[in-house]
A and B are shown apart, each in its own frame.
Chain A
């Protein structure tokens, strides 16, 4: 009998500081995986937590981790050549076929960018979507993740970037992400599909605004965050209504997500 709780030992190849509290780890982890899926990462003795895949290529896989507690503190003490433990991937992830031919809008707040980074990269350079617009919001300029890539997206016109607050040195957009939704080209309602990822409060306001802008709830996707202990439908922490976020999610159509009452 296979034991799904046993993690694999994985080597850290590189650590890229994104902000003072968010680091990207490049891992020697070669698994078939989709954006939006997650791994249960752990450090022996420090704990285990769900962490989204942010990128993958050539047998390497990236995760971007925010230092918030016991496990993530322990992870921050690790460097290239060290090992961590992983099991997964878990969850449904984004299905690229859902977005074929769409006017795709990706709206990401803060660390919500991590689970859709690879998806943005894929669609930015492909004609499988009809068009792509990305709207990114961070608290301050210091909180911006993947600086080089984000700047390139902004320069090429794919992305709009805004920060909630900044000092006078910041020349870009300011204000909450919701304020920029009306700038999105939502004219072809039938073809327009939106992905919304970020903290719960951001998802709440952005989806409400999109509905007001007449985007159909079947054309909005969200990625939900819940406490997770197992990732495989056993521990019960992630259950909402009749759905388990680790099994049927974390990616849900909004029409489905709004039916799930906490």
Chain B
């Protein structure tokens, strides 16, 4: 059902929503940027329309709302394990189509890769509801259309923000919040062309010699293994386990997991001093192949959704979009 809301009506809707949901959206961190006097857009709890930043792209993705950077899995005490409880409230997130598609890519890893579901991911993810922000223009570094990630049906409510706010309420869970408001048919639109386009190599064109190709060497020289491309990415899901000891005598401690990234040193080290992908160019290759090739082999769609954040955040100005095009060029040459 479609509805039209004034900005005031939208604010009172948000106020009511917060009684049952924690509500997150892109918001401004004043002076939070890397340079002096620059803002950073991140996902934060929002209370009113004015809190939402709808004109600039968020630096980090919304994944940390339900997949925390650091999460305690359980505590040990005297040989017993206890899992921490989580907030019982549900979570509503205002986000764009690329990020909804990105979360679908995370779901595949945490819920469908292998026979077991990830308990910690699932219990938070089950509480998440999507409020789609209509996105028809994108930003400079976006290439969601090339990645076929510009459209989605996986929303609960879709919204067009303007002087009035239009809402397509798809999930019955949210109908009660809109009861009594002016009805107006509304169908969300999706971006059809980004200013940036990438040429994807055909899956069959990726051959073993591409892995050895010298195109990766440039990245060995440029990448500093900071991992920002991983942490900002909506589809990067890797983590490392970490134990913290709080007293050896009765084996008190906790086991956590923290985000990990394939660009960061140590990601693929094993005992005996051996490590795989020591060269940063090899890590760039590993990430690229996952994002636009081998994830597809497992799940039938590409992992990368073209949000462009990795290009926005890289201190070395490494362009992932550019890298995809280079791979395509090399693949096409042969």
Partner of A230, one of B241, B289, B294: B241
> How far apart are A143's CB and chain B's nearest CB, in angstroms?
13
CB distance from A131 to the nearest CB of B (A): 32
Q: Are A234 and B109 within 8 A (Cβ)?
A: yes
Tell me which residues across on chain B come within 8 A of A225, comparing CB atoms.
270
Contacts of B294 in A (CB 8 A): 241-242
Q: Which residues of A contact B121 (CB under 8 A)?
A: 234
Asked if A232 and B114 make an inter-chain contact with CB atoms under 8 angstroms apart, the answer reads yes
**B321 CB, min distance to chain A CBs, angstroms:** 23
How many residues of A are counted as interface, with CB atoms below 8 angstroms from the partner's CB atoms? Answer: 41
CB < 8 Å neighbour of A227 from B81, B268, B295: B268
B107 to chain A, nearest CB (A): 12
Tell me, in angstroms, the Cα distance from A233 to B208 when the chains sit together. Answer: 24
* Contact in complex: B271, A69 (CB < 8 Å): yes
B243-A46 in contact (CB<8A)? yes
The proximity string for B residues 204-222 relative to A, scoring 1 for CB distances below 8 Å and 0 otherwise, is 0000100100000000000
A235-B83 CB under 8 A given contacts A1-B123, A5-B74, A5-B120: no
Interface pair A229/B109, CB less than 8 Å apart: no
Query: Quick one: given A229-B240, A234-B239, are A1 and B117 in contact (CB under 8 Å)?
Result: yes
**B contact residues around A5 at 8 Å (CB):** 73-74, 119-120, 255
Q: Considering the chains assembled together, what is the distance between the CA atoms of A242 and B286 in angstroms?
A: 11
| B contact residues, total (Cβ < 8 Å) | 56
Q: Does B251 contact A44, Cβ atoms closer than 8 Å?
A: yes
> Smallest distance from the beta carbon of A135 to chain B beta carbons, Å?
21
Q: Is A43 an interface residue (CB 8 A)?
A: yes
Which segment, of B134-142, B154-162, B168-176, B272-280, faces chain A?
B272-280
- Which residues of chain A from 185 to 241 have any CB-CB distance to chain B below 8 Å in the complex? 199-200, 225-227, 229-230, 232-237, 239, 241
Residues of B within 8 A of A2 (CB): 119
The digit string for B56-92, where 1 denotes a CB below 8 A from any CB of A, is 0000000000000000011010010101000000000
* Cα–Cα, bound, A234→B282 (Å): 22
**Is A38 on the interface with B (CB-CB < 8 A)?**
no
Q: Which residue of A lies closest to B261 (CB)?
A: A236
Cβ-closest chain A residue relative to B253: A45
Residue from A42, A48, A83, A234 within 8 A of B237 (CB atoms): A234
B244 proximity list for chain A (CB < 8 A): 45
Instruction: For the complex, give the distance between the alpha carbons of A57 and B252 in Å.
Output: 32
> Is A247 among interface residues, defined by CB-CB distance under 8 A?
yes
A1 to B116, CA, bound (A): 11
Of A2, A226, A229, most buried by chain B (CB within 10 Å of CB) is: A229
Q: Give A261 to B252 CA distance when docked, in angstroms.
A: 41
For B293, the closest partner residue in chain A by CB is A242
Contact of B268 among A230, A261, A262 (CB under 8 A): A262
> Which one, B113, B237, B248, contacts A247 given CB within 8 A?
B113
Supposing A43-B251, A44-B253 touch, asked if A236 and B238 sit within 8 A by C-beta, the answer is yes
- Expressed in whole angstroms, the Cα–Cα distance for A225 and B268 within the complex equals 10
The minimal Cβ–Cβ distance linking A252 to chain B, given in whole angstroms, is 15
For A241, what are the chain B residues with a Cβ–Cβ distance below 8 Å? 289, 294
**Contact between A83 and B79 (Cβ–Cβ < 8 Å)?**
yes
B238 and A262 contact, CB distance less than 8 A: no
Cβ-defined contact, B271 with A66, below 8 A: yes
A235 touches B119 (CB 8 A): no
Chain A residues contacting B267 (CB-CB under 8 Å) are 227, 237
Flag whether B297 is at the interface (Cβ < 8 A). yes
Write the chain A residue with the least CB distance to B80: A9
Residues of B within 8 A of A3 (CB): 83, 119-120
If A227-B268, A232-B116, A244-B113 touch, does A237 touch B245 (CB 8 Å cutoff)?
Answer: no
Contact B110 A234 (CB under 8 A): yes
Query: Does B257 belong to the interface (CB within 8 Å)?
Result: yes
Q: Which of B262-302 contact A (CB under 8 A)?
A: 262, 267-272, 274, 276-277, 282, 286, 289-290, 294-295, 297-298
Residues of A within 8 A of B118 (CB): 4, 232, 234
A42 touches B243 (CB 8 A): yes
Q: Which of A9, A233, A259 has the most CB of B within 10 A?
A: A233
Cβ-defined contact, A226 with B270, below 8 A: yes
Question: Which residue of chain B has its CB nearest to the CB of A234?
Answer: B118
Q: Is the CB of A262 within 8 A of B282?
A: yes
Judging by beta carbons under 8 Å apart, are B76 and A233 in contact?
Answer: no
**Can you list the 5 inter-chain pairs with the closest CB atoms, starting with the nearest?**
A45-B245, A233-B114, A45-B253, A236-B238, A44-B76
What would be 7 A-B contacts, judged by CB atoms less than 8 Å apart? A1-B117, A1-B122, A2-B119, A46-B243, A227-B268, A261-B211, A262-B286
Q: A4-B116, A4-B117, A234-B110 are known; give 5 further A-B pairs, CB within 8 A.
A: A1-B122, A44-B245, A45-B243, A236-B260, A262-B286
